[in-house]
Amino acid sequence: MTATNDIFSVELPDNWLQGRTAYGGLTAAICLEAAQRSTANLPPLRSAQFALVGPATGALRIQPSVLRRGRSTVFVGVDLTGAAGLAARGALAFGEGRNSVLDHLDVAAPNVAAWDACPELFTSPGRPAASHHFDMRLAGGARPRTPDSDPMMQTWLRHKEAAANACLPGLVALADAPPAAATVLFPHMAPFSTMTWALDMLTDAPASASGWWLAECSAQSVRQGYSTQSMTLWNDLGAPVIAMRQSVAIFI
């Protein structure tokens, strides 16, 4: 990623595509990276929303801007443009921790086998190009294209490139790496595409000693060509890291 007058650019390799565009997690990660590079003294990321409005391909142009800086929070907007025009619009909220009498966290990790005891998620050809950058193991739920199963998937995952596991944009990219839960119901391979993605950070210092993270995605509705799903990410010790919500277009 390079910068000229506060506008960032990056050339997207074909092996990071899902179909004809970068998958949503990578697009969001690029927006976050540009926001962090452009804005000094950012506090920890607390929440982010992304509208993925068009294909992100080829030479990408990323323009972040500070929407508001308060005493403890900073809001940053990011527009990402590809060859076909606007591809993504992000709104990111960063905030300093504050003393509070309240302390409640109830996002228990599912009871699953360790990553080294779980089978590979992908067992057939035709997987998206971008998925080759990750190790993914099926920990629970069902694989894509098992339509008699509930649309829920639990996966252990990590970047194959170790350095990507050590930064927050890498973690955001990883959180969206598994297929959409609706693909469990697919009778055959078909395209799908994230439309909107909202994520809330549950810790300001996410860490996994092993590099492995546990993800769960579950579809609550799959109808009329759209799906809504909830997503959660835990570290390798079962501590919750990110809670997410996603809307997905499906073409089947």
39 and 152 inside one domain: no
What is the tens place of the pLDDT at every residue in 136-174?
A: 999 999 999 999 999 999 999 999 988 787 789 999 999
The answer, yes or no, to whether residue 33 has pLDDT greater than 80, is: yes
140 and 203 inside one domain: yes
Local structure of 120: helix, strand or coil: strand
Contact 132, 152 (CB under 8 A): no
Contact 72, 98 (CB under 8 A): yes
The dihedral through the CA atoms of 91, 3, 33, 158 has a sign that is positive
Average pLDDT over residues 45-57: 94
Radius of gyration of the chain measured on its C-alpha atoms: 18
* Domain count of the fold of the chain: 2
pLDDT of residue 51: 97
Encoded tokens for 98: 């504050």
Encoded tokens for 133: 């950058």
119 and 219 inside one domain: yes
Please report, for the domain that includes residue 74, its CATH number. 3.10.129.10
DSSP H/E element including 8: strand 7-11
Determine, yes or no, domain membership for 103: no
What is the tens place of the pLDDT at every residue in 187-233?
A: 998 989 999 999 999 999 999 999 999 999 999 999 999 999 999 99
36 and 160 inside one domain: no
Encoded tokens for 49: 């929303």
The secondary structure of residue 31, as a DSSP letter, is H
Q: Residue 252 sits in which domain range?
A: 109-252
